[in-house]
Amino acid sequence: MTIREITEKLEKDERNQSYTQRGVPPIFQASSDARILIIGQAPGRKVEESGIPFNDKSGETLIRWLGIDRETFYSSKIAIVPMDFYYPGKGKSGDLPPRKFIAEEYHSDLLRLMPEIGLTILIGKYSIDYYLKDRKKRNLTETVAAYKEYLPEYFPIVHPSPLNFRWQRKNPWFEEEVVPELQDMVQSALR
């Protein structure tokens, strides 16, 4: 299966019909040359409007944390495969969670097409829960603090959303200790 065929399958999947009918494509970035894989949550409303992954404030923060520029972030060297390729909608307290079937039915086909991945960054609770399963700690903070335990396979980080500013303020060690290590690993993977 090719990336184009996976995209077509997503567009024809009846569970995605409401998006396809509105002209919203599945939002992800994948290439056989990708060296870094970013697995996030799901596109937000603003990203759905542009069709570009992380084309929002979260993306600005993520690019800074990775220590790269926008051109590199949106190049074939970086794959962005969220837990849902569509904006799941608004809930009572923020966006709805990603729909589970996307990761379960589509991730493995995409990942097989990217044999050069040297670093997989798991962003936020949904990707960490899915990929680390019973290896994760009691909560997100403890899992992110123990990131070295998951290397070299995975690098778990908190979501770069502006809504996480309280978490970031309460956990200054993340930007002081984890982000520089993440930047070093990104540079190594891109070499």
Nearest to 118 by CA among 39, 32, 28, 185: 185
Q: Find how far residue 181's CA is from the centre of its chain.
A: 18
The reported pLDDT for the residue numbered 93 is: 76
Overall size of the chain counted in residues: 191
Could you give phi then psi for residue 135, rounded to 5 degrees?
A: -85, -15
Secondary structure percentages of the chain, helix, strand, coil, to 5: 50, 10, 35
The reported pLDDT for the residue numbered 91 is: 82
Cα 67 to Cα 153: distance, rounded to the nearest angstrom: 20
Residue 30 and residue 79 in contact, taking contact as beta carbons nearer than 8 Å: yes
Write the CB contacts of 30 (distance below 8 Å, at least 6 apart in sequence). 3, 79, 80, 81, 110, 113, 114
The reported pLDDT for the residue numbered 85 is: 98
Count of CB atoms situated within 10 Å of the CB of 151? 12
- Ramachandran bin of 43, using left for φ above 0, alpha for ψ from -120 to 50, beta for the remaining angles: beta
Is residue 158 packed enough to be buried (19+ CB in 10 Å), middle (13-18) or exposed (0-12)? buried
- For residue 79, give the H/E element and its range: strand 78-80
Tokens standing for 96? 């709805």
Would you give per-residue pLDDT tens digits along the chain (191 residues)?
A: 999 999 999 999 999 999 999 999 999 999 999 999 999 999 998 999 999 999 999 999 999 999 999 999 999 999 999 999 999 998 887 789 999 999 999 999 999 999 999 999 999 999 999 999 999 999 999 999 999 999 999 999 999 988 888 999 999 999 999 999 999 999 999 99
Nearest to 118 by CA among 181, 38, 35: 35
Nearest to 81 by CA among 127, 33, 31, 40: 40
